[in-house]
A and B are shown apart, each in its own frame.
Chain A
Amino acid sequence: MSEIPDISTIFFYIITRGLPATLLLTAIGLLLGLLLGLSLALIRLYGIKELQIIANAYEKLMRGIPLLVLIFIFAFGLPTEFFWYIDPLFRPVYTVILALGLRSAAYQSQIFRGAILSVNPGQMEAARALGMSDIKAFRHIIFPQALRLALPSWSNEYAIVIKDSSFAYAVGVIEMTRAGYRVSSGFPQLWSLSMAIVAICYFLFTYPITRFVGEGQSKKLKKLGMGGG
């Protein structure tokens, strides 16, 4: 780019070159976090003591180290043979997804645990009195309500993960932040502005969701009178 890009060019570049990677990192990272986090939550609530200790330790570990350290360990710390099954081109993306997912799992475990525990205990009693086994009661009565209760916190976690995906910048992935840096790299006078535009792009993907899914759901839940065990 030899001519000075204007605001719309910068914006366009960030969205077209950076957004796909950002969304990919976020979506798969969250999914990984969801599957693992849910499992951890169930283990911590209903599992045997030994597994609970492991799950607890895992959570403490993931909450205690910075995401960047985790990313660097996966991206540069492990011998290259470790990810033999991934095309070298995708390794940076893969390592970031792994780091994001493993970290998010620790937080999502907390979210789901809290949600399950906050379902009114009378619900479980009534389900068992009907003759439902604990598993059936969990599947049909507790879990559906817990999901709804978890939604506000979960939308918050989504916002955190998409913002954290900007750390992929450090390992060379072309997500939104790096795209913003690239498009203006030759023009110092635009550096600040392009970062502002990057910020706006992230904002467009976080604020609407956290505001309306998170809060709207809270109001809906209050209307249904759920939770608050």
Chain B
Amino acid sequence: MIFQNIPEPIDELIRVLGYWDYIFSGFLITLWLYGCALILGFFLGLFLSIVRTYGNRFFSTIATAYIDIMRGTPLIAQLLLIYFLPYSLNIPISAWSFKANFVMFDKNITLILLDHKTMISILALSLNSGAYQAEYLRGSLMSVGSGQLLAAQSVGMSRLAGIRHIVLPQALRRVIPAWSNEAAYLPKYTVVVYFIGVSDLFSEGYYIVSRTFLTLATFIVIAIVFLILISIISKGLDILHEKTRIPGL
């Protein structure tokens, strides 16, 4: 049964790879979404973790609640909730977009860098990733030890300055292993944008399937691209970790 396919798989893979321009554009969009979400999520996470660790009880509780809710609910529900808001509130959506156009090996590639759907995707991914990053950052903030901040204050720094100049640098170096975890695996979660029609790597894969009906070959190619991407990011972060090592930290 399945053995009927064995003689053909190479041929199938080649046919799928014929759509390399779609795969490539999807890959770039995934990369774009991932990068934005990671960076925006980082700043959000940093803010939340500082509020949680050093803020007063009221704000700290709000931050904690936000983190718990974002981590306790599925990304799909979050994305769809935000996406449906304009429909539910009857706000008209204008069709706008920022595109990037270039030619590669005789193929015309158009990337939609920012439009209504992409913006919502980046927003939802950032809000979600920020919650997870906040947890890691909070852990590393707390691992720095209260003695460091006390020492900073004792030489006359304000609390904020102490956090900024003494605690944060140490915390940021300490968080690299855990953060690498999030950073390396975040690309996987960007596939949820498929549900709202953004042309990321996965959606392009689906498009290719609809044209070629070579489901297995296509998704294997997609899987391999993800695998390579994640491995490269992982490895890169490991090297970064080595290079920024401080003894005793």
Contacts and interface: CB of A to CB of B under 8 A. Distances in A.
Nearest to B87: A188
B34 to A, nearest CB: 12
Given A192-B81, A195-B80, A65 B2 contact: no
A73 B72 contact: no
Interface stretch (A28-36, A199-207, A217-225): A199-207
A119 to B, nearest CB: 22
B68 interface: yes
Contacts of A166: 74, 76-77
A8 interface: no
Contacts of A77: 215-216, 219-220
B88 A190 contact: yes
Contacts of A190: 88
A69 B89 contact: no
A191 B86 CA distance: 10
A65 B71 CA distance: 21
B207 to A, nearest CB: 13
Interface residues of B, number: 44
Contacts of B5: 79
Given A68-B194, A72-B219, A82-B2, A191 B87 contact: yes
Interface stretch (B92-100, B102-110, B221-229, B238-246): B221-229
A66 B73 contact: no
Interface string A12-55: 00000000000000000000000000000000000000000000
B195 interface: yes
Interface stretch (B52-60, B142-150, B153-161, B185-193): B185-193
Interface in B172-211: 185, 187-189, 191-192, 194-195, 202, 205-206, 209
A64 B231 contact: yes
Nearest to B68: A207
Interface in A59-104: 60-61, 63-70, 72-73, 76-79, 81-82
Nearest to B81: A195
Contacts of B113: none
A210 B2 CA distance: 42
Interface residues of A, number: 45
Given A169-B76, A203-B72, A81 B2 contact: yes
A141 interface: no
B73 A199 contact: yes
Contacts of B76: 166-167, 169, 177
A126 interface: no
Nearest to B209: A76
Given A76-B215, A77-B215, A177-B77, A192 B88 contact: yes
A69 B191 contact: yes
Interface string A154-197: 00000100011011011000000100110000001111110110
Contact of B227 (A65, A68, A163, A169): A65
10 contacts: A61-B227, A69-B191, A73-B215, A77-B219, A164-B74, A192-B82, A192-B85, A202-B77, A203-B72, A210-B72
Interface of B: 1-2, 5, 68-69, 71-78, 80-82, 84-85, 87-90, 185, 187-189, 191-192, 194-195, 202, 205-206, 209, 215-216, 219-220, 222-223, 226-227, 230-231
**Closest 8 pairs (CB-CB, A-B):** A191-B84, A77-B216, A192-B88, A195-B81, A199-B73, A163-B74, A166-B74, A192-B84
Given A63-B185, A73-B215, A203-B72, 7 more contacts: A66-B189, A77-B216, A77-B220, A79-B5, A202-B72, A206-B71, A206-B73
